[in-house]
Chains A and B, each alone.
Chain A
Amino acid sequence: GESVGLHLPTLSVQEGDNSIINCAYSNSASDYFIWYKQESGKGPQFIIDIRSNMDKRQGQRVTVLLNKTVKHLSLQIAATQPGDSAVYFCAEIRAGGTSYGKLTFGQGTILTVHP
């Protein structure tokens, strides 16, 4: 079936290191992808998004890479800080790439940053 999934459930890094969180998707028709960060007891917080006509997008300390050939999405966090510790979800929208379609979330990766 169609799904969005994550390769690794947990990731531990040292403060200052770069982090890479991966996500695989199975629906080649998906054309809008978003990374969310969820801290304990809070709702998902938008980090960065990318459309399928792009292969890279950069934000502040974060970069999202999209490889449509292998249907793979990654989130890179530069100089990871303890405040980055959270669960990270990738999500996709299939409704023609509009931001108002339903989000389909992956399982999530727990990122732990050690000081």
Chain B
Amino acid sequence: EPEVTQTPSHQVTQMGQEVILRCVPISNHLYFYWYRQILGQKVEFLVSFYNNEISEKSEIFDDQFSVERPDGSNFTLKIRSTKLEDSAMYFCASTSGVDTQYFGPGTRLTVL
């Protein structure tokens, strides 16, 4: 069964450093998303991406965040200058548009 994959599973970084979280969505999917989940809280929408551009973003997704689909398979989330409050689980999701959104296993980001 096809699945969304994410790397790394855990990323530890110093405050102010840049991080790139990577995702490989399901191959025939067209819509891509990043969500985050702070420990013990609900999952929050960050950004959606379709046809090589952002289709919607939340207020969390400020100028420090960017997304890219550099090739036909990868979808990345970059945080330019990490803050302590960026520590969370980051989930990538994808959908064909007629099916539900499928989530990856997540990347745990720890900012020290």
Q: Identify the A interface with B (CB < 8 A).
A: 34, 36, 41-46, 49, 89, 91, 98-108
Contacts and interface: CB of A to CB of B under 8 A. Distances in A.
Given A100-B95, A103-B33, 6 more contacts: A34-B100, A41-B106, A102-B56, A103-B45, A103-B93, A105-B42
B26 to A, nearest CB: 12
A105 B43 contact: yes
Q: How large is the interface on B (under 10, 10 to 19, 20 to 34, 35 or more residues)?
A: 20 to 34
25 contacts: A34-B100, A41-B105, A43-B4, A43-B106, A44-B43, A44-B103, A45-B103, A46-B101, A46-B102, A89-B42, A89-B43, A98-B97, A99-B100, A99-B101, A100-B31, A100-B48, A100-B97, A101-B48, A102-B33, A102-B48, A102-B58, A103-B101, A105-B42, A107-B41, A107-B42
A54 to B, nearest CB: 15
Nearest to B92: A43
B45 A104 contact: yes
Interface in B44-92: 44-45, 48, 50, 56, 58, 91
B25 interface: no
Contact of A103 (B35, B99, B105): B35
Contacts of A41: 105-106
Contact of B42 (A45, A46, A108): A108
Contacts of A34: 100-101
B67 to A, nearest CB: 14
B100 A46 contact: yes
Contact of A43 (B41, B97, B105): B105
